[in-house]
């Protein structure tokens, strides 16, 4: 089975990379880009039967720094 | 004083830190990240700068979960001293031994130059050689030194006089111009600037040396 973890900076934590991407899109002539947030996707190959709770534990302990980042887990 | 300097794959300020401890008069042991214990009698653990594990995932995140960091946490919970510089500061926040986190610099650039710091408090073994408000010059060299803590944590750091150093001119977007902070028991210091790179005249300045001397004095009189 697979799990996909999305890690994003929490709302309210400045994302300088997202801001830079927003400016670059504006410079390319794209109108109306009002905000960009950049995160990361981590794909996990897991033994069948691994629970969502286990994946969330992985997120809490390593994959995300919950001081500044939030995460979501997609299974399957 | 017996200092242990941790060495991770990708550490590159470990020997500089060892030299700074030695010049101040300490005995130094280098400790590999796969070790599960510290040598007997270690007073202070130095977590050096560099790029542990290539900064993979997040700066300091993999190092924070290495075997030696289990021993570091035990050392700190027993009241031991620890000093994390640059990547070492990132490791200390990732282990949650210090609050907050270090984000990408606000200007997105890696910054490597001397900066002026204001000493926030002289009330710690690390900063007792300075006076509160004193300005010192120490280099920074980082891409992810933009300190973040939520408003509540920030207020607590201020109320408890735990902001060890502030930037005279904020180079990286850190909240409250914070360059270094202390733990609640004042025995763990994390800072982005490199005092070990300003510790003898050949470095172009010696403002960092007072930290290592003060630490040694504290250990000798303790």
pLDDT digits (tens, 9 = 90+) for A2-34: 999 999 999 988 899 999 999 999 999 999 999
Of B180, B182, B98, B173, the residue nearest B143 (C-alpha): B173
Q: How far is CA A34 from CA A8, B105, B155, in A?
A: 18, 22, 32
DSSP B105-146: PTT-S-EEEEEEEEE--S-STTTTTS-TT-EEEEEEEESS-E
Comparing CB atoms, the residue among B100, B104, B106 nearest residue A67 is: B100
Q: Is B94 on the interface with A (CB under 8 A)?
A: yes
Q: What percent of chain B has pLDDT over 90?
A: 98
pLDDT digits (tens, 9 = 90+) for B101-150: 999 999 999 999 999 999 999 999 999 999 999 999 999 999 999 999 99
Of B215, B218, B211, the residue nearest B119 (C-alpha): B211
Chain B residues touching A63 at Cβ < 8 A: 57
Comparing CB atoms, the residue among B101, B106, B108 nearest residue A68 is: B101
* Helix locations, B34-183, DSSP H: 61-64, 67-77, 87-94, 151-159
CB–CB contact A14 B108 (8 Å): no
pLDDT at B219 over 90: no
Q: Is A5 on the interface with B (CB under 8 A)?
A: no
3 state DSSP class of A60: helix
Look at chain A and report how many structural domains it folds into.
1
Parent domain of A29: 2-75
pLDDT digits (tens, 9 = 90+) for B153-179: 999 999 999 999 999 999 999 999 999
CB–CB contact A16 B105 (8 Å): yes
pLDDT at B222 over 60: no
Region B20-30: mean pLDDT is 97
Q: Is B101 on the interface with A (CB under 8 A)?
A: yes
pLDDT digits (tens, 9 = 90+) for B52-71: 999 999 999 999 999 999 99
Question: From the centroid of its chain, how far is CA B116?
Answer: 16
Q: B122 to chain A nearest CA, in Å?
A: 28
pLDDT at B51 over 60: yes
Q: B12 to chain A nearest CA, in Å?
A: 23
Please report, for the domain that includes residue A32, its CATH number: 3.30.1280.10
CB–CB contact A65 B58 (8 Å): yes
Comparing CB atoms, the residue among B103, B107, B173 nearest residue A68 is: B103
> What pLDDT is attached to residue A14?
86
Q: B1 to chain A nearest CA, in Å?
A: 34
Contact, B113 vs B140, CB < 8 A? yes
Beta-carbon contacts of residue B151 (< 8 Å; ≥ 6 apart): none
Residue whose structure tokens are 């111009």: B177
pLDDT at B211 over 90: yes
Q: How far apart are CA B211 and CA B125, in angstroms?
A: 8
- Six token digits for residue A65: 């720094």
pLDDT-derived band at B87 (thresholds 50, 70, 90) equals very high
């Amino acid at each position: 089975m697979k799990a996909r973890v999305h890690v994003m900076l929490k709302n309210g934590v400045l994302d300088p990379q997202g801001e830079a991407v927003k400016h670059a899109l504006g410079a390319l002539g794209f109108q109306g880009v009002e905000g960009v947030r950049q995160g990361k996707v981590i794909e996990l190959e897991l033994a069948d039967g691994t629970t969502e709770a286990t994946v969330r534990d992985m997120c809490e302990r390593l994959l995300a720094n919950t001081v500044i980042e939030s995460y979501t887990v997609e299974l399957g | 004083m017996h200092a242990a300097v941790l060495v991770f794959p990708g550490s590159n300020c470990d020997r500089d830190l060892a030299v700074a401890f030695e010049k101040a008069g300490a005995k130094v042991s280098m400790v590999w990240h796969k070790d599960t214990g510290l040598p007997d009698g270690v007073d202070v653990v130095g977590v050096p700068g560099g790029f542990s594990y290539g900064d993979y995932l997040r700066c300091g995140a993999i190092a924070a979960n290495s075997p030696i960091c289990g021993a570091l946490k035990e050392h700190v919970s027993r009241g031991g001293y620890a000093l994390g510089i640059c990547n070492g500061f990132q490791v200390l926040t990732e282990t949650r031994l210090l609050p907050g986190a270090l984000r990408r610099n606000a200007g997105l650039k890696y910054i490597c130059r001397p900066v002026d710091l204001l000493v926030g408090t002289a009330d710690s073994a690390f900063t007792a050689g300075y006076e509160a408000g004193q300005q010192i010059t120490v280099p920074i060299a980082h891409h992810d030194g933009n300190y973040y803590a939520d408003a509540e944590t920030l207020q607590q750091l201020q109320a408890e006089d735990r902001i060890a150093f502030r930037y005279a001119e904020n180079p990286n977007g850190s909240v409250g111009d914070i360059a270094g902070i202390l733990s609640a028991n004042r025995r763990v210091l994390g800072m982005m600037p490199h005092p070990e790179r300003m510790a003898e005249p050949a470095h172009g300045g010696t403002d960092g040396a007072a930290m290592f001397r003060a630490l040694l004095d504290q250990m000798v009189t303790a």
